[in-house]
Chains A and B, each alone.
Chain A
Amino acid sequence: MVEVRFELNGETIITKEDPTKRLLDVIRTSFGLTGPKEGCGEGECGGCAVLIDHKIMNACITPLGNVHGKSVVTIEALAKTQRGQTIRKAFETHGAVQCGICTPGMVIATESLLHANPNPTEAEIREGLSGNLCRCTGYNMIVKAILSLVEKEGSLW
């Protein structure tokens, strides 16, 4: 039987679940982490976004086997970090959260973007969010929230 070993929010996981199972189902059902949402289920909306080795990926189309030896971080763990808290404050201040269903994915996308590029331009921010859909805000408030991080809190990333 195949064994997949990975880190989930800092904890080592060894699982014998089917490696073609969707990472999203494993995270939500086996580990009860419901931060990542199932939206479209086909990698278009970013609701299920998680960080895999610091990079944003869609858990709904990632086979469990593909995270072997890697580190998976969900919004639950990111929210507890200083960076997570800083992104949260910026989103609150700029009204970047309305109904909230896209927010975990948006925060993950923000962390992934700033990790790779701590000083993005507005165009780069929009590109970084291009795989995450939001039907409430019209994106401008989210972009402004991230721009505020670039201007004030650049040192965190």
Chain B
Amino acid sequence: MVNTHYPTSYEEALELLSIYKPTIIAGGTDLMVRKRAWSDLPTSFDRDILLVGQLEELNYIDRQGSNIHIGAGVTLEDIMDHFHTPTLLSEAVKIMASPAIRHSATLAGNVVNASPAGDTLPVLYVLNSVVVLESVEGIRHVPIDTFITGPGKTIINDNEMIKEIILSGHKFNHSVYRKVGGRKADAISKLSVCMIMDIKKGIIQNFRAAFGAVGPTVVRDVTIESKLIGKSLVWLDENIEEIGKWYEQIIKPIDDQRSSASYRKACTINLLTDFIKHIKHHA
């Protein structure tokens, strides 16, 4: 028999977490499906449940310096409409799921779910996001690429929960988010890409690219990115194919019911080279 814990404050939630090591539910849009039973029967959770969707203390979006802090309880719809939300994240959320799902699902849920196809993840990787974990023992700040270790796997301890996600509020010269899915709404991605570039006087200052659903976790390679920094637009133009080849070597998608490995790879590289060509025309 599993018990449901229903805290009235964040502090109480942390105490309950340390005692019962429960499964945490905010919006429930993933877990309620994964653990569903027949109509009218209790859900099939195998551990105690801690409901946190009602905790108003986690429902905030703040700007501190150049960083945006998004509380674990904020729904996707509220993130999409908020004036502090970076454009890239708004764009990604806008084409996620459906209005009904966005009204309940949270960004923290998308992160801790750690699906290779999680739609917000490429954006969070590009924005150098940090996951803030809290337990009764204290707070940890973990970069998103360290936090997620594999499909559905993270380094969260069973007495911890996500308090907030911190992301860079920097405005980029060029940025793009693209999702390729079977239909526009309610579709799990075949692949998704997020890329940014800053250019000053014809020289690349900043380049980042993250690819979703083409590996066990989101793919981002800072070594390749650093090869572009300091280079000119002329160099960029001459090396589009070469850059594509660098990424071809590190992108290792799989065949599954949504798409094939070869389609995913070709499409990802095309979106990357398209972004670079677009910059050449608009720089």
> Does B40 belong to the interface (CB within 8 Å)?
yes
Could you tell me if B99 and A61 are in contact, using CB atoms closer than 8 angstroms?
A: no
Could you tell me if A62 and B4 are in contact, using CB atoms closer than 8 angstroms?
A: no
Could you tell me if A131 and B101 are in contact, using CB atoms closer than 8 angstroms?
A: yes
Minimum Cβ distance to chain A for residue B217 (Å): 25
Minimum Cβ distance to chain A for residue B78 (Å): 10
Chain A contact patch, size range: 35 or more
Could you tell me if B101 and A20 are in contact, using CB atoms closer than 8 angstroms?
A: no
Residues of A within 8 A of B39 (CB): 24-25, 38, 41
Chain B, 32-48, contact with A by CB distance < 8 Å: what is the 0/1 string?
11001001101101000
Chain A, 52-93, contact with B by CB distance < 8 Å: what is the 0/1 string?
100111101111011011000000000000000000000000
The one of B6, B51, B99 in contact with A113, judged by C-beta atoms closer than 8 angstroms, is: B99
Within 8 A of A (CB), among B168-196: 184-186
Could you tell me if A21 and B101 are in contact, using CB atoms closer than 8 angstroms?
A: no
- Give Cα A46 to B100, complex, Å: 8
Could you tell me if B6 and A25 are in contact, using CB atoms closer than 8 angstroms?
A: no
Minimum Cβ distance to chain A for residue B130 (Å): 27
Residues of A within 8 A of B36 (CB): 22, 41-42, 61
**Given the contacts A52-B103, A109-B99, A130-B184, A66 and B40 also touching, CB distance less than 8 Å:** no
> Does A153 belong to the interface (CB within 8 Å)?
no
Residues of A within 8 A of B103 (CB): 52, 55-57
Minimum Cβ distance to chain B for residue A71 (Å): 14
Closest-by-CB residue of B relative to A48 is B100
Minimum Cβ distance to chain A for residue B201 (Å): 39
Could you tell me if A66 and B53 are in contact, using CB atoms closer than 8 angstroms?
A: yes
Minimum Cβ distance to chain B for residue A104 (Å): 13
Size of B's binding interface in residues, CB under 8 A? 29
Closest-by-CB residue of A relative to B54 is A68
Which secondary structure dominates chain A's binding surface? mixed
Closest-by-CB residue of A relative to B102 is A131
Minimum Cβ distance to chain A for residue B20 (Å): 14
Residue contacts A-B, CB under 8 angstroms, 9 given:
A18-B42, A20-B45, A29-B40, A43-B32, A52-B103, A56-B103, A57-B104, A58-B104, A66-B51
Q: Measuring CB to CB, which residues of chain B are less than 8 angstroms from any residue of chain A?
A: 4, 6, 25, 27-29, 32-33, 36, 39-40, 42-43, 45, 49, 51, 53-54, 77, 97-101, 103-104, 184-186
Q: Measuring CB to CB, which residues of chain A are less than 8 angstroms from any residue of chain B?
A: 2, 4, 18-22, 24-25, 29, 38, 41-44, 46, 49, 52, 55-58, 60-63, 65-66, 68-69, 109, 112-113, 127-128, 130-132
List 17 additional contacts besides A19-B51, A58-B101, A109-B100; criterion CB under 8 Å. Answer: A20-B42, A20-B51, A21-B42, A29-B40, A41-B39, A42-B33, A46-B100, A56-B100, A57-B100, A58-B104, A62-B28, A63-B25, A63-B28, A66-B53, A66-B54, A113-B99, A130-B98
